[in-house]
Amino acid sequence: MRKCQTRQIQCRQNLAALFSLTAFALIAGGSVFAAEEFTTGSSDVIVTEINRQIREAWKDNEVTPSPVADDYEWLRRVYLDINGHVPSLEEVEAFAADKDKAKRTKVIDKLLDDPAYVRNWTTVWTNLCIGQQTPRRVSRAGMQKFFREAFGKNRRWNDIVSDLVTAEGHYEENGAVNFLLAQMQDNDDAVQMTAKTTRLFLGMQVQCTQCHNHPFNDWKQDQFWQFNSFFRQTGKIDHRKFDSKTGRMVDDYSEIVERGFSGPVYFEKRNGLMQVAYPIYLGSEVDPGESTDRRKELAKLMVTGEKPMIAMAMVNRTWSQFFGYGFTRPVDDLGPHNPSTHPALLDRLAEEFVKSGYDCKQLMRWIANSEAYNLTSRGTKKNERDNPAAGEAALFSHVYLKSMTAEQLYDSLIVATNAHKSGRSGWEQSEKQRQVWLQQFVQAFGTDDGEESNSFDGTIPQALMMMNGELVQDAVSIKAGSHLGDVLAGRGNDAQKIGRLYMTSLGRQPTRPEMAAATKYLKSSRDPLTIYQDLFWALLNSNEFIFNH
């Protein structure tokens, strides 16, 4: 038995060796267009303006953009970025066969109206607001319900943020309160709440000035405590109930309430002197009296001006979600001390985002239709200096590689393999297994702080989860309902079946060397079913599958 297992592992490792990160960087799996010849089909003037300003930066920095991505590469990318998973085999085949010059714009519009868009961005913002691991006394279900309704109805982003900042009540009846609950620590005087709110929704890292003026940051110590004073009326009540089964009191629910507070907050400077800070937002003072609802006043001030910080922060973060890098590094540190790579473009997009009614879908539509987003991830000698991973400024002359998040990787495995249905019948049984596996993925892919949705970075638990986990083993099974079982039972010769596995997992046809290697393995084996399983396993564990490119 051990010899068989060792032989199988060696075979799979040999196949996996075909798919290194450099291998997929050289693949040209379809038609490639010169940038000057390409258009997605969008006629939006904002998209034209994005293209103009990005092109000016290329010219100023003497870089030449990479070619436009072929249909296979682009479709996989846009599905991952908007809907959070790879396209299905049928969707890849239909898109490749579509001859409409505006088909990319049509796909973008379709994805933004897909329920998967709501699910994906609910996951993104739930993780950003409360972390991957749910804090005690916080309802993940309540937080998800809030964002699911917000993205499902395409609510204005300023209204969403206002609800989060001003929330009160039961943590499931008003799911927005979970953002504040997740930041509330005993006796911390709303410090974490202040830091998280300003960083996430305003793109301001004022937490760096909590104890002293920062030497490289324009934000001062008193400004942190001015922001902090807006949250001092925020209180929490933890409710408990009697559990008749255990005979003990247990957690029931938590709620956010308003508590009486007026006047300034007091803080200590490094020289030991005590100072006072009143509720002031970027120079705008608020009545510090007890009758003032400070959080509501803050929500109003956050949306003042033609391009308020709330708009700047959302544009920068959304751009980063699609490109892997924003206009600033880090993405949540805007200000004169940290100039953006494309200041005029960031300003213009923020202004247009406000004019659109803070329409998140419209913002994504502009970004996804832009020329830069449609380029290939394959760099050239003429843009090799455009390497933000090495500390260079991001010029967006090619698309940067991104690791999938844990949730993207999980959902992509499900789409590619039907693993959650393998050997099972009925929606409830499949969904139950989905929740078990997803929780395992979140635990394996998380970090110690669990703050945001984290990506595959090659740690041992992550590698074992991919290579030997129950999900991947079910994915390569030939049980009833599995994708591999359906492919092998379907029509076509070996080459056609191999092609379908490549299209399923990597979203493209195999190259000639890949087809030759796979065919060679099949012919050399007395057990072709095992070879097909090994091939599918190798594809699902390849860098090309795990990375968004």
Q: How does pLDDT run across 54-70, given as a tens digit for each residue?
A: 999 999 999 999 999 99
CA dihedral 332→337→343→348, nearest 10 degrees, is 60
DSSP 456-475: ----HHHHHHHHH-HHHHHH
Residue 241: per-residue pLDDT: 92
Nearest to 172 by CA among 260, 251, 84: 251
DSSP 287-339: --STTS-HHHHHHHHTT-SSS-HHHHHHHHHHHHHHHSS-SSSSTT--STTS-
Tell me the torsion sign for CA atoms 44, 47, 52, 53.
positive
**Is the pLDDT score of 379 beyond 50?**
yes
Contact partners, residue 249, CB within 8 Å, separation at least 6: 240, 241, 242, 243
pLDDT band for position 26 (50/70/90)?
Answer: very low
Looking up tokens 């591999």 gives 484
**Is the pLDDT score of 36 beyond 80?**
no
Residue 33: per-residue pLDDT: 53
Tell me the torsion sign for CA atoms 42, 45, 47, 53.
positive
pLDDT band for position 443 (50/70/90)?
Answer: low
Contact partners, residue 429, CB within 8 Å, separation at least 6: none
Hey, what are 234's tokens? 């925020």
Q: What percentage of the chain carries pLDDT values higher than 90?
A: 56
Hey, what are 170's tokens? 């039961």
Residue 461: per-residue pLDDT: 52
CA dihedral 119→120→125→128, nearest 10 degrees, is 130
What is the Cα–Cα distance from 359 to 297, expressed in whole angstroms? 23
Nearest to 281 by CA among 269, 292, 268, 271: 292
Residue 76: per-residue pLDDT: 97
Angle between helix 309-323 and helix 157-166 axes, rounded to 10 deg: 110
**Is the pLDDT score of 16 beyond 60?**
no
Q: How does pLDDT run across 283-318, given as a tens digit for each residue?
A: 899 999 999 999 999 999 999 888 899 999 999 999
Contact partners, residue 268, CB within 8 Å, separation at least 6: 274, 275
204-225 in b/e form (b: 16+ CB < 10 A) is bbbbbbeeebbeebebebbbbb
- Over residues 329-334, the mean pLDDT reads 92
Phi, psi of 237 (to 5 degrees): -125, 125
Q: Taking the chain, what is the end-to-end CA distance rounded to the nearest angstrom?
A: 39
286-324 in b/e form (b: 16+ CB < 10 A) is bebeeebebbebbbebbbeeebbbbbbbbbbbbbbbbbb
Q: How does pLDDT run across 154-172, given as a tens digit for each residue?
A: 999 999 999 999 999 999 9
DSSP tag of 393: P
When the pLDDT of each residue in the chain is averaged and rounded to a whole number, the result is 84
Local structure of 248: helix, strand or coil: strand
Q: What percentage of the chain carries pLDDT values higher than 70?
A: 79
- Over residues 223-252, the mean pLDDT reads 92
- 292 contacts 302 by C-beta, under 8 angstroms: no
Residue 267: per-residue pLDDT: 82
Q: How does pLDDT run across 381-438, given as a tens digit for each residue?
A: 999 999 999 999 999 999 999 988 888 888 888 888 776 554 444 545 555 665 666 6
DSSP tag of 400: P
More confident residue, 175 or 546: 175
Phi, psi of 24 (to 5 degrees): -75, -15
Hey, what are 172's tokens? 């499931």
**Is the pLDDT score of 215 beyond 60?**
no
- For residue 58, the number of C-alpha atoms closer than 13 Å in the C-beta half-sphere is 19
Nearest to 467 by CA among 414, 542, 517: 542
What is the Cα–Cα distance from 388 to 333, expressed in whole angstroms? 16
463-485 in b/e form (b: 16+ CB < 10 A) is eebbbebebbebbbbbeebbbbb
Residue 59: per-residue pLDDT: 96
Residue 249: per-residue pLDDT: 93
Local structure of 234: helix, strand or coil: strand
Hey, what are 124's tokens? 């993104």
Residue 154: per-residue pLDDT: 98
What is the Cα–Cα distance from 251 to 237, expressed in whole angstroms? 11
Local structure of 429: helix, strand or coil: helix
- In the chain, the amino acid numbered 516 is A
**Is the pLDDT score of 20 beyond 80?**
no
Question: 104-108, 245-249, 275-279: which has the highest mean pLDDT?
Answer: 104-108
More confident residue, 299 or 1: 299
Hey, what are 222's tokens? 């008193």
Q: How does pLDDT run across 472-516, given as a tens digit for each residue?
A: 676 677 777 778 888 888 888 999 999 999 998 899 999 998 899
**Is the pLDDT score of 143 beyond 90?**
yes
**Is the pLDDT score of 231 beyond 50?**
yes
* Alpha helices, H only, 45-88: 45-60, 71-83
What is the Cα–Cα distance from 347 to 336, expressed in whole angstroms? 13
**Is the pLDDT score of 374 beyond 70?**
yes
- Over residues 372-387, the mean pLDDT reads 95
Domain boundaries, the chain: 2-26+404-548, 35-113+307-400, 118-301
- Over residues 259-264, the mean pLDDT reads 91
Local structure of 402: helix, strand or coil: strand
pLDDT band for position 450 (50/70/90)?
Answer: very low
